[in-house]
């Protein structure tokens, strides 16, 4: 596996983000010149400790997803710095001991919100799962073996290998996505609203799976959600975002039971309950 030989310091945070900012150009006029910038993420700093789950909450459009995408390079960072296990990320790479560099994609993986569009409809499960390892020069047999292991880990029958994504339910697809991201043995998993497209009973299964994985594989998880119940159930720490800025942060229980910021209070009062 790609990063088994890499050594990581104990006690160092998995992610240290400092002053992250993402800006999108706003174009206008006949020639489409850049008129202005929209700041989606505005000076966000946070720390994700090893083996912990940090939740980022906030309403739709507050920049949660953009924040995660900027960590894996899907969206370019305007400013700010990211350290993974105490090592600075530079052009999608982390410098390792002995002058070697490690790609961020070998360390950090991401699971997307919509399980229906995040699996290629033209590829079998086997192709989907083995491709990341084959791209890393692992033999097909080895990749296949690892794929079978991971399918078992996420409780999908191994007979699924020759099936296509549309033959699975939403929850099973999300498990496949999780299995795919684990193929490269990452240390950090970014989950972008992984449960919001699923119904409640399946949500619980996925949350249990993530918690089990965190424990068994020592994963550090950055969990994004707008669902306060889900956040309460799973997270160790919470980061509350509002219009691209962090308005409150802290240990999950404290923030969710005794919110300090007005926005957090409002967010918590929006949680629907049956009585009143």
Is residue 136 a contact point for other proteins (CB under 8 A)?
A: yes
Binding mask 48-67 for other proteins (x = CB under 8 A): --------------------
Rule CB under 8 A: is residue 260 a binding residue for other proteins?
A: no
**11 vs 32, beta carbon nearer other proteins:** 32
Q: Interacting stretch for other proteins, rule CB under 8 A, among 20-28, 43-51, 102-110, 249-257?
A: 102-110
Q: Which of 141, 153, 198 is nearest to 174 (CA)?
A: 198
Of 175 and 249, the one with the shorter C-beta distance to other proteins is 175
Question: Counting contacts by CB under 8 A, is residue 209 touching other proteins?
Answer: no
Question: How many Å apart are CA 220 and CA 10, to the nearest integer?
Answer: 13
132 sits near other proteins (criterion: CB under 8 A): yes
Cα–Cα distance for residue pair 212/189, rounded to 1 Å: 13
Among 101, 135, 158, 270, binds other proteins (CB under 8 A): 135
Distance CA 91, CA 87 (A): 13
Report whether 68 contacts 222 (CB < 8 A): yes
Please tell me whether residue 178 adopts helix, strand or coil conformation.
helix
> 81 near 89, Cβ under 8 Å?
yes
First to last CA, the chain: 52
Taking CB atoms within 8 Å and a gap of at least 24, the contacts of 153-158 are 153/179, 153/182, 153/213, 154/178, 154/179, 154/209, 155/209
Of 19-27, 132-140, 215-223, 227-235, the window that binds other proteins (rule: CB under 8 A) is 132-140
> Which CB, 184 or 240, lies closer to other proteins?
184
Number of other CB atoms surrounding residue 121 within 10 Å: 9
**Of 38 and 140, which has the nearer Cβ to other proteins?**
140
For residue 124, the minimal CB distance to other proteins (Å) is 6
Q: Reduced to 3 states, what is the DSSP secondary structure of residue 45?
A: strand
124 near other proteins, rule: CB under 8 A:
yes
Q: What angle do helix axes 200-217 and 170-182 make, rounded to 10 degrees?
A: 20
Give yes or no for residue 159 binding other proteins (CB under 8 A): no
Q: How far is the CB of 1 from other proteins (least distance, A)?
A: 14
- DSSP letter at 56 equals E
- Residue 117, interface with other proteins (CB under 8 A)? yes
Measured from the CB atom, the residue of 32 and 272 that comes closer to other proteins is 32
Which of 273, 242, 249 is CA-nearest to residue 59? 242
Q: Distance of alpha carbon 3 from its chain centroid, rounded?
A: 19
Answer for which of 61, 139, 140, 258 binds other proteins (CB under 8 A) is: 140
Per CB under 8 A, which region of 55-63, 78-86, 110-118, 210-218 contacts other proteins? 110-118
State which of residues 3, 123, 185, 205 lies at the interface with other proteins (CB under 8 A).
Answer: 123
Gap between the Cα atoms of 222 and 117, Å rounded: 21
Site residues for other proteins per CB under 8 A? 72-74, 103, 105-106, 109-110, 112-114, 117-124, 131-132, 135-136, 140, 162, 164, 166, 177, 180-181, 183-184
């Amino acid at each position: 596996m790609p990063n088994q030989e890499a050594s990581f310091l104990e006690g160092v945070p998995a992610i240290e983000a400092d002053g992250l900012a993402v800006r999108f150009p706003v174009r206008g006029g006949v020639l489409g010149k850049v008129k202005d910038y929209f700041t989606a993420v505005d000076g966000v700093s946070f720390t994700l400790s090893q083996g912990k789950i940090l939740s980022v909450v906030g309403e739709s459009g507050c920049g949660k997803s953009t924040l995660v995408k900027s960590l894996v390079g899907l969206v370019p960072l305007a400013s700010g710095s990211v350290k993974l296990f105490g090592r600075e990320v530079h052009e999608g790479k982390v410098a390792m001991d002995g002058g070697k560099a490690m790609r961020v994609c070998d360390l950090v993986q991401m699971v997307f919100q919509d399980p229906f569009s995040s699996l290629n409809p033209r590829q079998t499960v086997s192709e989907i799962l083995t491709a990341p390892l084959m791209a890393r020069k692992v033999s097909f047999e080895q990749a296949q073996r690892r794929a079978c292991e991971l399918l078992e880990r996420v409780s999908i029958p191994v007979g699924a290998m020759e099936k296509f994504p549309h033959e699975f339910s939403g929850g099973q697809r999300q498990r496949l996505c999780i299995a795919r991201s684990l193929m490269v043995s990452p240390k950090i998993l970014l989950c972008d609203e992984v449960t919001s497209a699923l119904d409640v009973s399946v949500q619980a299964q996925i949350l249990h799976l993530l918690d089990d994985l965190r424990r068994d594989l020592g994963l550090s998880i950055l969990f994004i959600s707008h669902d306060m119940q889900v956040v309460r159930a799973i997270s160790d720490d919470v980061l509350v975002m509002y219009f691209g800025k962090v308005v409150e942060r802290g240990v999950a229980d404290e923030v969710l039971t005794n919110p300090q910021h007005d926005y957090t209070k409002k967010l918590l009062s929006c949680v629907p309950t049956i009585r009143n």
